[in-house]
Amino acid sequence: MERLWGRCAGVEGLFVDPVPPPREVLTLRGCRPDGLLSDVLAEPNASLRNLGDVCVEVWDDETPVQWWTLVDAVVVAHQPHPDDAARYDVTLGAGVRNEESFFELPAAPRFELFAGTPVAAAGRCSVVDGLFEARVEPPPVPMELIGCEPAEPLLKALRRPARSERDWAHLLVLDHHGAVMAAPTVGLAITEARPSVLGGTLIDITLTDGGDERPSPAARPIWAEWYQGPPAEPNLWAPYDSQGRAAWLDLTTRAWRVPTPRPDRSGEEHHVDGRFVTDVPGLHCAIAEALLGPGRYFGREWNAFKDCLCGGFGVAPPFTLTWHDSEIARRALADVVQDPEGELSYFEDIVRLLERRGVTVDLR
């Protein structure tokens, strides 16, 4: 059962960039480059060329089971693979971040690579030397709770901080109307408590670890806009770049959450305003607005979108989706490929998914 630990007037350290992982040297063995990686290796001076973030998916026979990011990857060297001149051994300098691991490493894994802006397939390799090394976690980034009015659980933690130092809690961020905007998880280990700069009986508390669910400082203007309340007009997400649009989608996941499932509507016609669908986050913003209205949630990537089509989010197939200016998305996402077979662009994959789930898609 959830308990209220206290209220505070403000938070310092709510917006932080993640601590970058330390640099390492890794080698992609037996690499068949594609996309950006192929273009870089074809250049006469490929060494020290920056690839940006490179996503490494570890696959078993049928599905990815682990996701890694090689942060700010730079080509250090490359040479033909000794057993196959058509493949390469590519050495990279990068930070290494484990995004998610559902299963143990398969006996015979394959490694799929994705890179570029927009993100697209960059090839595959047979081994990544150095990927599975043990790593020390970066130190936590603290958070300051300003002007706290502690409830009894927090008072107990202040009296005996050792008892709660391994506990975690949700920090409910409220908008101007008192509705929950977001609920990042924070650690309850307390570094310091002192009289508040706001005076009175309030206190300021330093949490040792503010958690890794905090938004980037780049998201401040989006949060400021949502602080006035969920958006009531369409396309307010459109002026932002891909990172900003992703932050917008983050807020939709909480802003319209309700205790009981919404009744699903079917059989209607919905219209997608495709003028601003120039990236994956924009595609999901536009479709959610078409189906449910501004600021609503209907998935933020392929798998979540597929789940939403099963019902429980306000709209369920069959229905008709008329996609205006669809050629903009088709062209913008032509090189974004997440289809395991590498045959369909992200736009085409989404359209196919809609049609397979019983949606009539009219591309205009």
Q: What is the pLDDT of residues 145-155, one digit of tens each?
A: 999 999 998 88
pLDDT at 129 over 70: yes
Residue 262 confidence class, pLDDT cut points 50, 70, 90: low
Structural tokens at position 29: 């063995």
Beta-carbon-side half-sphere exposure of residue 191 (alpha carbons within 13 Å): 12
Distance separating alpha carbons of residues 274 and 225, to the nearest angstrom: 23
> What is the per-residue pLDDT across 88-112, written as a single tens digit (0 to 9) for each?
999 999 999 988 776 677 888 899 9
Residue 18 confidence class, pLDDT cut points 50, 70, 90: confident
Distance separating alpha carbons of residues 34 and 142, to the nearest angstrom: 41
Residue 167 confidence class, pLDDT cut points 50, 70, 90: confident
pTM of the model: 0.80
More confident position, 131 or 47: 131
Residue 158 confidence class, pLDDT cut points 50, 70, 90: confident
pLDDT at 357 over 80: yes
**pLDDT of res. 85:** 83
Q: Can you list the domains of the chain with their CATH numbers?
A: 6-16+139-214 (no CATH), 23-129 (no CATH), 218-363 (3.30.370.10)
Distance separating alpha carbons of residues 16 and 198, to the nearest angstrom: 23
φ and ψ at residue 187, rounded to 5 degrees: -75, 150
